[in-house]
Amino acid sequence: MALVGNLKDLKLPSLIQLNCMERNTAKLTIEHGGKFGFVYFDDGQVVHAEFEPEIGEAAIYKLLTLYSGNFKVESGIRAPAQTIRKHWNNLLLDALHQLDDSDDNQEHKFDHLFERLFTVRGVQNITIFNTAGERIASSRQDVSPDLKLFAFIRLQNGKIGDALGDSIPEFTSIAVASKKYIFTQYNQLDVAIEMDHKIKLDVVLPLLKQALM
């Protein structure tokens, strides 16, 4: 029987460690934002990985940056090729060092924030944008949010605060058909969170507030 789950609950380093220590021969499939990644284990060693366009160690590094995504581990499946020869322990250590070094990269700067926000039920997508409507970071690269609309909402939010002699609202919730858009700020940056329309604001907003701290 395949082991299935989400990286939100079980991180990739733990998954790799588990399979290697159990001396498994298996295929690990990860799906994130419509893209698929694969890690193959052979008798407890990581022997091959793919995450388009990367293969081998580079694919492992890329996969380790994912903070969410469905995974499946299927036992007994052998790798189609051997592209990794490093011991799994060294592979993981090198990859995690590389991740630490790249923490300042704009692309990954908000990964931990996204990770925290995705623990809140109903969060579908997160976009950090500036007042000109340019994307700073986004939790999903395959989705193109209406950045100019977000900037327009941000502008109106500021003016609403002005009209009432107050600051910009801490949270703005907009219900649109099947979605709720939550606008807020994080470290003086603007954040748009797309959520399922069924969420209860009274429950979700305190959790979002906590995740944004």
Partner 1 sequence: MVKALLNEINSMEGVEGVFIATNRSEITNKTGTGYKDAQLKQLATHILRISAGFHLKGKKVTELEFYWQNRYVICKISDYFALVTFCRTSRILSLLRITLNVTMSKLSEDKKFKKWLKSHIADTEFILHKPSIDTEEEKLLFHLT
* Residue with Cβ nearer partner 1 (36 or 152): 152
Give the contact letters, 116-155, x = binds to partner 1 (CB under 8 A), - = no.
Answer: -----------------x------------x-xx-xxx-x
Whole-number Å distance between alpha carbons of 3 and 149: 41
Characterise 95 by phi-psi region: left (phi > 0), alpha (psi -120 to 50), beta (else): alpha
- 167 backbone dihedrals φ, ψ, rounded to 5°: -80, 180
Q: How far is the CB of 102 from partner 1 (least distance, A)?
A: 32
* Residue with Cβ nearer partner 1 (57 or 194): 194
| Interface of this chain with partner 1, residues 46 to 65, rule: CB under 8 A | none
Contacting partner 1 (CB under 8 A), which of 125, 127, 139, 157? Answer: 157
Q: Does 198 interact with partner 1 (rule: CB under 8 A)?
A: no
| First-last CA distance in the chain | 40
Q: Does 164 interact with partner 1 (rule: CB under 8 A)?
A: yes
Contacting partner 1 (CB under 8 A), which of 90, 104, 202, 213? Answer: 202
DSSP run (H or E) holding 62 = helix 57-63
Q: Does 13 interact with partner 1 (rule: CB under 8 A)?
A: no
Burial grade of 2 (CB within 10 A; 0-12, 13-18, 19 or more): exposed
Asked if omega into 53 is within 30° of 0 (cis), the reply is yes
Helix (H, G, I), strand (E, B) or coil at 66: coil
Contacting partner 1 (CB under 8 A), which of 166, 188, 198, 213? Answer: 166
* Residue-wise DSSP of 45-57: EEEEEEETTEETH
Residues that bind partner 1 (CB under 8 A): 133, 146, 148-149, 151-153, 155-157, 159-160, 163-164, 166-167, 169-177, 201-202, 205
